[in-house]
Amino acid sequence: MTIEDKLRDAFRADGESVRPETIRPLGARLGNHPDSDRPLRPRRLTIPLLAAAGVAVIALGASVAVPKLLPADVVKHRLGPASRAASTGIPAARFPLAARSLAGGYPDGRLPADPMPRYFVGITYPGRKPATEYAFTVAVYSSATGKIVARLSPPEPGRYFQAVAAIGDDNTFVAAATPGFPRPGDCRTWLYEFRLTASGTPTGLTPLAVPEVTGWASQSSLAGSGNGSLITYSTYGCTRTGGGSTGPYTLGEIDLRTRKSRSWSNPEVAAIRGAGSPEDYQFSGLPALSDGGLFSFVRGGNITSMAALLVRLTEPAVEVRRVLTSPGTGGVLATALSPNARVTFALTVRRPTYPYTIQLGAYDTATGQLLRTWDAASHQGIGSELMTADPSGGHLLVAGFPDPLNQITVVSVATGEAATLSLTQASMPLDIAW
């Protein structure tokens, strides 16, 4: 039997495991589906359009007029998520105050003018190993060209890098590694620290002397604070047959000054990306952590209800505030925070069908107000879920944007310039840090 015949045979047999009678009906997913925003006939749109326009005008009027009419503290409670958070008993003062402008989201009300770091790092899968072996390595990229200038191999056989985060400055990073093959009893994550030299060479890879992290880390599951004091991570538990993307989920925080850690098992916000059923909340991990210990999450029960959340690790339960909800199908893809968390950068889907439109927006964390925006058309689909800010918060790195397969965009928050770097598909990172 030739290879082609073996393929046909294997494909046919695998295909037959999907029985026609077991396929879910399309049913109500069309006209009655809440996301079925298919354009209708003009006459059927007349009233809804007028109504929508009316709502938009009223809302626009309110957002412009209210700040002029009411004192600042009243405004804070009249606008969006802040009032909801206050009403649920979350102490508003512990979450960031309104930025009111992009510069207001930065220390001293000034946008950082620091140059972008020369290098960023990512986790890559070169794919050159034998089929049964996986080699996730740390790659060092030039921020100017996107070219990989150095690689860092896993510290020992059987450990594979999964996530990376900057900690303290643009030269120091923490990487999470897991066993290559999930096995019961081997359900843990190792944390390592390394630095970049001036020429971008990774050096000094050492295990981080912190309490053992249980569970498996996945991409975007690690974040470090800019002041170098905190690491947060999320992991998922291992099933009897190996890894698995179902619980128990763990959310953890490590204080690098005291080397103490605390963790939350199955907290409301701790499910990791890829959780299976639509009923499960899904999160894109911990893309950003502010110096104040606040971190941002993307959450969604399904692709139509994604939200960017700001989370504060408190005991016994974490506190959550919604920053923005996705405008539609596709959802919030990724978030990043300014250093004081007053500005949340979010990547959202504006148009979920061809030609896809993805929007990078800067939002006032406290009010959800859009402060800056940048739309990009993508002809390749939607897939980017990686975004990170440099230590000053002055530059954003967005992987898979606007082309999810092989582009990275570098955005200067201060000047608004965005530079798109084209990478080969093999060099596209699975996680990034700057």
Partner 1 sequence: MNPVTRQWREPAGVSAHEVVAVSPGAQLDAPLGASDADDLVHGLYREHAVTLVRMAKLLLRDRESAEDAVQDAFLGLYRALDRLTDHDDLTPYLRAAVINRCRSVLRTRRRAMLRPVQHEPEVSSPESAAMAAEERRAVLDAVSQLPRRAREVLVLRYYLGLTDEQVAATLSVSRGTVSSTASRAIAALGKTLKEDL
Question: Binders of partner 1 among 294-353, rule CB under 8 A?
Answer: 303, 324-325, 327-328, 350-353
List b or e across 30-47, with b for residues whose CB sees 16 or more CB atoms inside 10 angstroms: eeeeeeeeeeeeeeeeee
Site for partner 1 in 173-232 (CB under 8 A): 181-182, 218-219
Of 275, 272, 295, give the one whose Cα is nearest residue 285.
272
- The residues, any chain, with a CB within 8 Å of residue 10's CB and separated by 6 or more, are none
Of 159, 168, 164, give the one whose Cα is nearest residue 189.
159
Q: How far is the CB of 297 from partner 1 (least distance, A)?
A: 15
Q: Cβ distance 334 to 326 under 8 Å? A: no
Of 185, 183, 181, 230, give the one whose Cα is nearest residue 208.
230
Site for partner 1 in 264-293 (CB under 8 A): 273-274, 276-277
Q: Which of 34, 45, 77, 107 binds partner 1 (CB under 8 A)?
A: 45
- Find the part of the chain contacting partner 1 (CB under 8 A) among 67-75, 199-207, 290-298, 377-385: 377-385
d(CA 319, CA 335): 18
Q: How far is the CB of 295 from partner 1 (least distance, A)?
A: 20
Q: Is 357 in the site for partner 1 (CB under 8 A)?
A: yes
d(CA 326, CA 57): 20
- Find the part of the chain contacting partner 1 (CB under 8 A) among 110-118, 190-198, 258-266, 402-410: 402-410
- The residues, any chain, with a CB within 8 Å of residue 420's CB and separated by 6 or more, are 402, 407, 408, 409, 410
Site for partner 1 in 59-98 (CB under 8 A): 59-60, 63-64, 80
Q: How far is the CB of 315 from partner 1 (least distance, A)?
A: 29
Q: Is 34 in the site for partner 1 (CB under 8 A)?
A: no
Binding flags for partner 1, 128-157, as an x/- string (CB under 8 A):
--xxx-x-x-------xxxx----------
Q: Which of 34, 36, 113, 317 binds partner 1 (CB under 8 A)?
A: 36
Q: How far is the CB of 357 from partner 1 (least distance, A)?
A: 7
d(CA 371, CA 101): 6
- C-beta closer to partner 1: residue 92 or 419: 419
- C-beta closer to partner 1: residue 163 or 313: 163
Q: How far is the CB of 420 from partner 1 (least distance, A)?
A: 4
Q: Is 393 in the site for partner 1 (CB under 8 A)?
A: no
**Cα-only R_g, the chain:** 23
Q: How far is the CB of 169 from partner 1 (least distance, A)?
A: 24
Q: Which of 363, 365, 366, 433 binds partner 1 (CB under 8 A)?
A: 363
SS3 351: strand
d(CA 112, CA 44): 49
Size of the site for partner 1 (CB under 8 A): 108
Encoding tokens for residue 204? Answer: 């000094």
Of 35, 123, 117, give the one whose Cα is nearest residue 304.
35
Q: What is the largest CA-CA distance in the chain?
A: 80
Q: Which of 137, 372, 406, 427 binds partner 1 (CB under 8 A)?
A: 372
